[in-house]
Amino acid sequence: MLVMKPLAFDALPYPPLALLPTLPRLNPGEKTSMSIANLIRTNIDSLVKDWAEHAGNHIAAAEKLPLHELEDSARNLFAAIAIDMEAHQTKAEQFQKSVGKKVPERSFISEHAIGHADHRLSQGFSLNDIVSEFRAARASVMRSWASEENVERDGHEEMVRFNEAIDEAVGISLDRFDARLSRARELFLAVLGHDMRDPLGAIMLSSQLIQTDMDLSATSARAARQLHASAFRLTHMLNDLLDFTRTRLGKTLPIEAIDGDMSQTISQVVDEMRVVYPAALIDLKASGDVHGRWDFAKLAQVASNLMGNAIQHGDPLQPITVGVNGLADQLELTVTNLGKPIPAEVQNRIFDPLTRGTHVERKGSIGLGLYISAQIAVAHRGRIDVHSDESHTTFTVSIPR
């Protein structure tokens, strides 16, 4: 477990907190212009105690941390603020910080903010928890400054510098936290994709080979078909889940475009769906020039998702019609089924993630297929639309050439 220790000052152009000069005692009635930086140094112990109490009482993840770790975090933060406020800063530098521009990488406050984010991520803190910590630090200092008798009340510049220091630390910590969290998610996706795709592929291949055995009993043949169908559905659910997570990280789905014939790709998908869903009636119709340069694997995923959706929600006694239409400036892929129409309120959000109709009864779906299909269309600079009424339901994917 990563243990938070007071940050080392010796590698930085600043003296450690313990060596910063303390303020002389003031004679009764004497006035001086105490800066916020000096106030922090003078009241560091009470500020640390106040902050640690807030974290321990109001942040669930902080409850499991030893008191000394909370206090070390607070002491480092307040020291960083004090040192940053006393560092020389030009008007240009002040403006750059005020609009969130990058600060020197070896500044003390950036060192603290990065270390703080790394530690908090390892301890299970959320982004809201980190913001709450900095908000508590700001409030503690402001309360102390307001109660100090020997403070000049026209310290506008002091307030500006203090808030800049807090905001800078917040920004750096959140950026670091988000980057580390995104990296952890990407690593998880890579491991998940690698470790699950290989065994699923082996299951599908083995089940196909088993079905070629001419001496296989009817019961064993059914079991092999069911094994293949289950592995097929799991593979598609895994692909949808991985693509969904990538898009939620703010990334566009990667497209690997090659030249090819879309009718051949969709025909292969139809054959796969007929094997997985032997009771389904699927008709394929192709027209026009369906050659082009697209990501055929991704568009096959779209076709599979749309056919699966039609099988799941359509009338099982009526055929599903799949169309591949080559137009002058685009390719259209359509999937049409008969059955109950999609309610209007569902149509308005049907391409949102995790959206499922209340009439869903069959298992094998996690509600991501239509969302992923829409994202793949967008990645091809295209779109997907739905039309549903009492006569039929049609999904249309339009992809430019």
For the segment 155-206, what is each residue's pLDDT rounded down to a tens digit? 656 665 677 677 777 778 887 887 787 777 777 766 666 677 778 888 888 8
Residue 392: per-residue pLDDT = 95
For the segment 105-141, what is each residue's pLDDT rounded down to a tens digit? 556 777 778 888 888 877 778 888 888 888 888 888 8
Nearest to 122 by CA among 73, 160, 57: 73
Residue 113: per-residue pLDDT = 81
CA gap 136, 51 in Å, rounded = 6
Residue 334: per-residue pLDDT = 98
Inform me whether the pLDDT recorded for 260 exceeds 80.
Answer: yes
Q: Do strands 320-326 and 282-288 pair parallel, antiparallel, or not at all (unpaired)?
A: parallel
285 φ, ψ (degrees, to nearest 5) = -130, 125
Q: 33: pLDDT confidence band, cut at 50, 70 and 90?
A: low
Residue 28: per-residue pLDDT = 42
Inform me whether the pLDDT recorded for 303 exceeds 80.
Answer: yes
Note the Cα 231 to chain centre separation in Å.
Answer: 27
**Higher local confidence (pLDDT), 37 or 366:** 37
Q: At which residue do the structure tokens 């109950």 appear? A: 340
For the segment 16-29, what is each residue's pLDDT rounded down to a tens digit? 344 333 434 334 44
301 C-beta neighbours (distance < 10 Å), count: 21
Residue 248: per-residue pLDDT = 63
Inform me whether the pLDDT recorded for 330 exceeds 80.
Answer: yes
CA angle, 186 then 189 then 190, to 5° = 90
Question: Span 291-298, mean pLDDT?
Answer: 93
Question: Span 372-395, mean pLDDT?
Answer: 93
Residue 173 tokens read as 């910590």
CATH architecture of structural domain 17-185: Orthogonal Bundle (1.10)
Residue 16: per-residue pLDDT = 39
Question: Span 273-295, mean pLDDT?
Answer: 93
Domain boundaries, the chain: 17-185, 187-248, 258-400
**Residue 240 and residue 193 in contact, taking contact as beta carbons nearer than 8 Å:** no
Beta-strand (E) ranges in 171-294?
Answer: 258-261, 282-288, 291-294
Query: In CATH terms, is domain 258-400 a member of 3.40.50.720?
Result: no
Q: 34: pLDDT confidence band, cut at 50, 70 and 90?
A: low
CA gap 134, 165 in Å, rounded = 11
Inform me whether the pLDDT recorded for 268 exceeds 80.
Answer: yes
Nearest to 154 by CA among 1, 35, 8: 35
**Higher local confidence (pLDDT), 139 or 389:** 389
CA atoms 339, 343, 346, 350: torsion sign:
positive
Residues 6+ apart with CB under 8 A from 198: none
CA atoms 116, 119, 122, 128: torsion sign:
negative
